[in-house]
Amino acid sequence: MIHSKITGLGAYIPSNKKLNSDFLNEEFLNADGSDFVSENSEIIEKFKGITGIEERRYAEDEFTSSDLAFFAAQNAIKDAKINPEELDYIILAHNFGDVKKDSCQSDILPSLATRVKYKLGIENPNCVAYDILFGCPGWIQGVIQAQAFIKAGIAKKCLVIGAETLSRVVDKYDRDSMIYSDGAGACIVEETTENSSGILSFANQTFAKEEAYYLFFGKSFNKKEVNETRYIKMFGRKIYEFALSNVPLAMKAALDKSGVEIDDVKKIFIHQANEKMDEAIIKRFYRLYKKNAPEDIMPMSIHTLGNSSVATVPTLLDLVIKGLIPNQEIQKGDIIILASVGAGMNINAIVYKY
């Protein structure tokens, strides 16, 4: 039987750090344009208490999302020790295309995946490159698609990338802008006939009734702005409640389909959106099995890297496997879960044997 496994991982973490203290002099406004009653120091302290974010990374001025994607792809290819000419697919998840520093225009012509193929110097025309828009769960969805191609017998090696520069689409007057960051993560998914490791099962969903516009593009909170520039906006409370209600169920659906027992799960790599939300999701997931979540089940990178959307899960996985997060490691044969939630509203989860 044909299986799919991750044979290489790579990430690109920008060098520019944006500390919480860097927001002390920002002018935060309410959605109606009115001033906050609280001082920025209080706003930032509450923000840190909820999200866990102390600092985040912003892309270097000269780079765009496709550049970050290329750097991560290079690292994944090197880690997998493959010839990039052998790739059958390049699947690149993002949300806003290439946005240059101090620009309000998104550029997706050609696709970011095509740009990465070009930068990698791949000549093989049978290496198909395309983008996917699936919100924050985009990289996981790309891995699911890669597995589908492999199982269908039309691919043997796929490069899946998640890259984003959210710092360039945020409204500086919106305190939610402190959540977002930039980065890229990538992996090589390959065909294998071994059943000792690889993707065991997955689940994915789209909720598009009242949930469809929980994340959207909207005008600045500064009503004095007269231009038509729009920025990433969200209904944070609605997203929080939606995630707590639905992500644990999707994770359970994937785990039950795999035949793996809950006690055999060693690590859960969940989208780094909000520390308190992620902790609550994990607790509810284990509660579905009438269990308590084990300590250290959930590695975290949000404290120093913020929320880089599609890049959070592959970057976190890469950091743990390379031993760069204290007290977190994966051993051969460990069962892990990858899960995410984001704009759409989309949810997905993969059960994987390392």
Q: Are residues 12 and 110 in the same domain?
A: yes
State the total domains in the chain. Answer: 2
pTM: 0.96
Closest CA to 26 of 175, 239, 243: 175
Asked if the peptide bond before residue 84 counts as cis, ω within 30 degrees of 0, the response is no
Q: Are residues 207 and 134 in the same domain?
A: no
Q: What is the pLDDT of residue 193?
A: 80
> Which of the four pLDDT bands, split at 50, 70 and 90, describes residue 163?
very high
> Which of the four pLDDT bands, split at 50, 70 and 90, describes residue 179?
very high
> What CA–CA distance (Å, rounded) separates 218 from 343?
14
Q: Looking at residues 190-201, what average pLDDT do you find? A: 87
Q: Are residues 285 and 348 in the same domain?
A: yes
> Which of the four pLDDT bands, split at 50, 70 and 90, describes residue 242?
very high
> What CA–CA distance (Å, rounded) separates 7 from 187?
7
Q: Are residues 139 and 12 in the same domain?
A: yes
Phi-psi region of 288 (alpha: psi -120 to 50; beta: other; left: phi over 0): alpha
DSSP assignment of 124-175: -TTSEEEEE--STTHHHHHHHHHHHHHHTTS-SEEEEEEEEEGGGS--TTSG
Domain with 327, as residue range(s), is 199-353
> What CA–CA distance (Å, rounded) separates 142 from 254?
16
> What CA–CA distance (Å, rounded) separates 72 from 246?
31
DSSP three-state, residue 9: strand
> Which tokens sit at 83?
């010839």
Q: Looking at residues 23-32, what average pLDDT do you find? A: 92
Q: What is the pLDDT of residue 209?
A: 92
Q: Are residues 224 and 111 in the same domain?
A: no
Q: What is the pLDDT of residue 1?
A: 79
Final residue belonging to a domain, choices 139, 173, 195: 195
Final residue belonging to a domain, choices 195, 219, 248: 195
Give the pLDDT confidence of 295-327 residue by residue, as tens digits: 999 999 999 999 999 999 999 999 999 999 999
Give the pLDDT confidence of 54-75 residue by residue, as tens digits: 999 999 999 999 999 999 999 9
DSSP three-state, residue 247: helix
> Which of the four pLDDT bands, split at 50, 70 and 90, describes residue 197?
confident
> What CA–CA distance (Å, rounded) separates 142 from 89?
10
